[in-house]
């Protein structure tokens, strides 16, 4: 199933993630939080190769406060990534119907990479991206 990231969502899509965690690749991570969307953070983990493991919790409500069910209301996520936090030019669609979701991004070149997540609901609405988190490889 392919989704298109438009950069803007129609009214009322949920905050993207409750948390985003990065692991692997060594280096330092950083993140910031936003009262409206996500509270990304990073976590150090020993790993070999150039892979970053992302994980997040499904949002529980839309921006307008309406309850959101990860089983019935969320079709998946779009993980955006790149080496410029203002231009996350690469993306992958992740299908996940559970509270805890994740994805491994492999074969990343050395440097600092930035990652954000968007939620896609069952109506095809796409949330704004979460605040990016970073990982140095």
Query: Which 8-state DSSP code applies to residue 10?
Result: -
Please check whether residue 120 is in contact with residue 77, taking contact to mean a CB–CB distance below 8 angstroms.
yes
The Cα 74–Cα 127 span in angstroms is 11
Dihedral of CA atoms 51, 20, 36, 124 in degrees, nearest 10, equals: 70
- Please state, rounded to an integer, the average pLDDT across all residues of the chain: 73
Average pLDDT score over residue span 94-112: 94
Residue 119 sits in which domain range?
20-136
**pLDDT at residue 78 tops 80:** yes
Helix (H, G, I), strand (E, B) or coil at 104: strand
Domain holding 96: CATH number? Answer: 2.60.40.10
At 46, list the tokens.
Answer: 């020993």
Report the predicted TM-score, pTM, of the whole model to 2 decimal places. Answer: 0.68
Query: Which pLDDT does position 49 carry in this prediction?
Result: 54
Query: Which pLDDT does position 63 carry in this prediction?
Result: 87
Structural domain includes residue 9: no
Structural domain includes residue 79: yes
pLDDT band with cut points at 50, 70 and 90 for residue 60: very high
At 98, list the tokens.
Answer: 């559970």
Structural domain includes residue 12: no
Look at the chain and report how many structural domains it folds into: 1
Structural domain includes residue 15: no
């Amino acid at each position: 199933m392919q989704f298109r990231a438009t950069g803007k969502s129609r009214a009322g899509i949920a905050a993207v993630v409750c948390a985003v965690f990065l692991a692997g690749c060594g280096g330092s991570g950083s993140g910031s939080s936003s009262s409206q969307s996500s509270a990304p953070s990073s976590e150090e983990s020993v790993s070999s190769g150039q892979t970053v493991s992302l994980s997040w919790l499904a949002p529980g409500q839309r921006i307008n406060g309406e309850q959101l069910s990860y089983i019935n209301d969320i079709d998946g996520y779009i993980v955006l990534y790149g080496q410029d936090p203002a231009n996350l030019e690469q993306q992958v669609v992740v299908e996940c119907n559970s509270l805890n979701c994740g994805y491994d991004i492999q074969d990343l070149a050395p440097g600092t990479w930035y990652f954000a997540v968007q939620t896609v609901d069952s109506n095809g609405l796409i949330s704004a991206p979460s605040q990016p988190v970073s990982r140095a490889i």
